[in-house]
Amino acid sequence: MLLAIKMANISELSDLNLRVGKIIEVEEISTRKPMYKLTIDLGELGTRGIIAGIKPYYSREALLNKTVIVVADLEPKKIGEHISEGMVLAAEAGEKVLLLTIDGDLPPGSKVR
């Protein structure tokens, strides 16, 4: 049986501000769920602190200097005692979670389209 999904139109997709980011700092934080606070370089947009629930899947060392895809225009959200200023995109299949990245080398802040 096929999964039914809500369809989005192209303008809804183009409204998202997706950017290439480089993880420059990884901090273990205390929350109900295992999470990291990632400091991500977004080039001309500056740096963002993003709370990510990827601690069960990645070590701090594996994340440092990793290039990721970031939703850069989300409103800040309080998670525990911390503020998250965006979202890192990941793919999930069962128990496996992988961060979305790029195929090549682009500077932080590059627009994803």
Least-confidence region, from 10-14, 81-85, 108-112 = 10-14
**pLDDT at 59 > cutoff 90:** yes
- Per the listing, tokens 């709370």 go with 51
DSSP 26-51: EEE---SS--EEEEEE-GGG-EEEEE
Enumerate the domain spans of the chain.
16-99
Q: What is the structure's pLDDT at 73? A: 94
pTM here is 0.90
16-99: CATH topology: OB fold (Dihydrolipoamide Acetyltransferase, E2P) (2.40.50)
| pLDDT tens for each residue of 61-78 | 999 999 999 999 999 999
Under a CB-based contact definition with an 8 Å cutoff, are residues 28 and 36 in contact? yes
For the record, the structure tokens of 21 come out as 């980011």
Strand runs labelled E in the chain: 18-28, 36-41, 47-52, 67-71, 77-79, 82-84, 87-88, 90-93, 96-99
**pLDDT in the model for residue 4:** 86
pLDDT in tens, 5-49: 888 888 777 788 999 999 999 999 988 889 999 999 999 999 999
- In angstroms, the CA 86 to CA 70 distance is 7
